[in-house]
Amino acid sequence: MLNGKTVLITGGTGSFGKKFVQIVLQKYKPKKLIVFSRDELKQFEMAQRFTVEEHPCLRYMLGCVRDGDRLKRAFHDVDYVVHAAALKQVPAAEYNPGECIKTNVLGAMNVIDAALYSNVTKVVALSTDKACNPINLYGATKLCSDRLFSAAKVYRGSLRTIFSVVRYGNVVGSRGSVIPFFQERVKTGVLPITDPRMTRFWITLSQGVHFVLYALAHCQGGELYVPKIPSMKVTDLATAIGPHCEQRTVGIRPGEKLHEVLISEDEARNAVEFDKHYVVQSEPTLRARLLDPKNPDGVGKPCEEHFRYVSDTNPDFMRVADLEKLLVQISDDYRIEESRWSPVVNPK
């Protein structure tokens, strides 16, 4: 799918972006792989790991998704775009709402406009569980972003660009996640727990990248892809990281949920279930295609009445032993594991 093509990733120096670049360089031979981000230091550091000399297809391009003109220049002759740029820290968004809106909402609109202007083939945007029934500003801005990309199918008019969204839960060990925080606090002998009932969805960086590649290969426009991933109790994670540490309850922070929701009951009415993922598609014709026995991508089935995909009722739960194995798995710079979602190319 990506061989001989030009691929651009916004927010390319983040945790997801670095893993995306690593996997694409290992599995494909793109004509160009453009890392687009606003931080020159992170680009410099990333270029020491993925050098242009070793990977001539790589391009490092400074820019911000708030700058529509810069995006149009960056998207020139680009075939595929993965939009991963965002301000995602919940407390920072609460105290700096305008900045979060400029990047997550207006930036999304700029990405859509630049993709249409440059006739990009496909765009896949990264979402978050916090966009489903949002209770904080970050989630609200990502919900707006999701709606913009879903509506872009109509907004594009007669142009060919396809827009889709991928939504998943917490990425294990990513920058700002609870694992590095707990690992640092182990030294104190006390791990702070916001609420002992709290549960979370989990996905590894490699699984997240492979799932995005799957969506990029199969999307037809307007879909919201949600992977089937395990849940875990935060107390079990704390036990796996610091089995001898005291777990001290400190209370839920503003804007934090007790349990995560990836598909709400209202969204489920438009959702189609597959073996390893769900697709929320509000367009009736395309949703019917997902249910067609002749669908080359596999046959889905409608979700049951009143279905919700929530972390505390998820049938797939990771226990302490599972989490200990996962921690070993990600310890070596988030090593690539075999994906649950093979990025099979849709021949159409």
Instruction: Decide which of 278 and 253 is more confident.
Output: 278
pLDDT-derived band of residue 69, with 50, 70 and 90 as boundaries?
very high
pLDDT digits over 191-247, tens only? Answer: 999 999 999 999 989 999 999 999 999 999 999 999 999 999 999 999 999 999 999
Q: What is the DSSP string of 20-47?
A: HHHHHHHH---SEEEEEES-HHHHHHHH
In our burial notation (b when 16+ CB lie closer than 10 A, e otherwise), range 24-39 reads bbeebebebbbbbbbe
Do 310 and 260 contact (CB within 8 A), yes or no?
yes
pLDDT digits over 8-61, tens only? Answer: 999 999 999 999 999 999 999 999 999 999 999 999 999 999 999 999 999 999
Domain range summary for the chain, segments of one domain joined by +: 6-169+203-228+261-310
Q: How is residue 187 written in tokens? A: 């030294």
CATH of 6-169+203-228+261-310 among 2.60.40.10, 3.40.47.10, 3.40.640.10, 3.40.50.720? 3.40.50.720
> pTM of the predicted model, to two decimals?
0.91
Burial class (CB in 10 A: 0-12, 13-18, 19+), 198: buried
Instruction: Please provide the average confidence, as pLDDT, over all residues in the chain.
Output: 91
pLDDT digits over 107-157, tens only? Answer: 999 999 999 999 999 999 999 999 999 999 999 999 999 999 999 988 998
pLDDT digits over 76-98, tens only? Answer: 999 999 999 999 988 899 999 99
Instruction: Decide which of 58 and 328 is more confident.
Output: 58
pLDDT-derived band of residue 268, with 50, 70 and 90 as boundaries?
very high
Is 153 assigned a catalytic role? no
Q: How far apart (Å, rounded) are the C-alpha atoms in residues 343 and 334?
A: 19
Q: How far apart (Å, rounded) are the C-alpha atoms in residues 95 and 97?
A: 6
Do 19 and 9 contact (CB within 8 A), yes or no?
no
102: DSSP letter: I
pLDDT at 338: 38
How many other CB atoms are found less than 10 A from the CB of residue 343? 20
pLDDT at 326: 83
> Of these residues, 88, 130, 228, 257, which one is catalytic?
130
pLDDT at 294 over 90: no
Determine phi and psi for 244, rounding to 5 degrees.
-105, 5
